[in-house]
Amino acid sequence: MFNIERWQEIFEAIAKNKLRTFLTGISVASGIFILVILLGVGRGLQNGIEKQFERDAAGIIEVWSGTTTKEYKGLNPGRQIQFRNSDYEASLQKYDDKLKYKGSSYNQWSGVVTYGKETGNYTYRGVYPDYQFIENATMAEGRWINHNDMIHNEKVCTIGMKLKQDLFKGESPLGKEIQVNGISFRVVGVFTDPAGEREETRVYMPLTTVQKAYGAGDKISSLFYVMKKKDNYDDMLAEANNFEAGLTQLLKSKNMIAPDDEGGLGIHNSVKDAKQFYDLNLYIRLFFWWVGICTIIAGVVGVSNIMLIIVKERTKEIGIRKALGASPISIIGMILHESIFITTIAGFVGLLMSLALLELVGPNVDSEFFLNPSVDFNVALTTLFLLIFAGALAGFFPAYRAAKIKPIVALRDE
C-alpha cells in the first residue's frame, strides 16, 4: 500500500546525505552498467559466430579424396583416390534416411567464362539440386538447377551475383548463353551467397551435364551431407560422429584404403566446429555474468554498509518508534524500503545508460566475428530482478539489526 509518510521519510533521509547517497548509487549503477555491457558483448560474439555458420547450411559433413600414405592389400602407398558416382550412391543406400540434404560435386577451380566480349576466369562446379541449401544460396533471379536438368543432362547453369556484374554489366542474364571452357550453357538463375563475393563468382551446372560435357565420366570431387536436426545439440553431435565414422569406413573399404590411413580421404564435420564455438561462447558469457554479478555484489555491500550507518545514526529515532508501539516488521519495512528504492533507481540509471551505449555503438561495430551487440528483453527482466533482490539483500541485515534494538537502549544512545 502507498504510504506518503514513508516516502517523505525516504526523501528526507536522502536529502540529508546527498553525497553519500550519490556515491552509493554510483556503485550500484556501475555494477549494472558493467553487467549489461558484458552481456551485450557476449551476444555480439554469439551473433558473429552464428553469422559465420550462416555461410553454409548448419552441420555440413564434407568428404574429399586424397593420396594414400600406407600399403594396403598389396597396393602401394601414394595412390591418388578418385571418388565416383558409385561412392555417393553407396552412401545414400546406407544413410539416406538420416540426411536432410545431400549431394556430390565435380569441381574445376579455374574455367574461362565468356559472354559476348567479356571474359574472365571463374570456378565452375557440377552439383546436385540440394547444393543450393548446402551452400545456403538465395536466388536473386530465376531458379536453381533442378532434377529435370540432371535427368536430361540439360546445358543450363546458375551464376553468382558477382559474376553477373562482371560479365553482363547490368543486363539481365536469364535466358542468355555463356561459354564455359568453350561449351555453351544457358543461364537460368542468379544467386547470392552470405559468404560474399568470393562465393558469388562461381558457376553451378547439373553434375550429370558437367561429367559428360567435359569427359569426366563418373568422377566426382567431393561429397556433401547435412544431417536431419535432433531435439538437442548433443544428440545431433553424437549422430554426426556416428555418421562420420560409418561413412569413413564405407568409403575406405570401397576404395581399398587402409583403415588407419589418414591421407586417403579427408572429411570435415562442421557440427564439431559449431560445438566448439558455441561452448567457447558459453564459457565467455558465463565469465561475463560472473564479473558483472561480482561488481553488483560490491555495490550491494556498499549499500549495506551505508544502511548500517543510517541505522546507527537513527538508533534513537528507532527506539522512540518502538517505544510508541512500532512493530519490528514496520522497522524492517522502513529500512528495506529505503534500500530497495536507492538500489532500484541507481540500477535503472545504469541499465538505461548501458542500453543506450549498446544502441549507439553496436551498429557501428564492423567486425567479422563480432556483430550487433545487444541485450534482449529476457536479460533486461533478469537484471531488473537482480536490482530488486540486491536492494532487499542490501537492506535486510541492517533492517534486522534495527528491529532488534531495544527501546531503553536506543533512548540512552547519544
pLDDT computed for residue 42 by the predictor:
75
Residues 6+ apart with CB under 8 A from 160: 190, 191, 192, 193, 199, 200, 201, 202, 203
| DSSP assignment string, 153-168 | T--EEEEEHHHHHHHH
Pairing of strands 177-180, 118-127: unpaired
Question: Can you give the pLDDT at residue 56?
Answer: 46
Distance of CA 101 to the CA centre of its chain: 22
Task: Please provide the DSSP assignment of 112-148 as one string.
Answer: EEEETTEEEEEEEEEE-TTHHHHTT-EEEEE----HH
User: What integer pLDDT is reported at residue 1 of this predicted model?
Assistant: 45
Phi/psi of residue 373, nearest 5 degrees = -65, 130
pLDDT digits (tens, 9 = 90+) for 259-302: 999 888 999 887 776 666 667 767 777 777 777 677 767 767 77
Q: So what's the pLDDT on residue 340?
A: 76
pLDDT at 192: 92
pLDDT value at residue 273: 67
The whole-number pLDDT of residue 143 equals 95
Burial bucket for residue 150 (CB in 10 Å: 0-12, 13-18, 19+): middle
Cell of 111: 574455367
Angle at 75 between CA 73 and CA 79, to 5 degrees: 135
- Position 93 scores a pLDDT of 93
What pairs with residue 107 in β-bridges? 125
Residue pair 61/271 in contact (Cβ under 8 Å)? The answer is yes
pTM comes to: 0.61
How far apart CA 406 and CA 328 sit, in angstroms, is 10
Q: Please tell me the predicted confidence (pLDDT) of residue 152.
A: 93
Are residues 188 and 78 in contact, defined by beta-carbon separation less than 8 angstroms?
Answer: no
Q: What pLDDT is recorded for position 301?
A: 73
Q: State how far the alpha carbon of 249 is from the alpha carbons of 2, 59, 66, 156, 283, in Å.
A: 74, 20, 15, 36, 35
Residue 11 to residue 142: CA distance in whole angstroms: 69
Cα 245 from Cα 94, distance rounded (Å): 13
Q: How many CB atoms lie within 10 A of CB 189?
A: 20
**Parts of the chain with a pLDDT under 50:** 1, 54, 56-57
Rounded Cα–Cα distance for residues 111 and 105 (Å): 16
Residue 125 CA to residue 122 CA, distance in Å, equals 10
CA 255-260-265 angle, 5° bins: 45
DSSP letter at 65? E
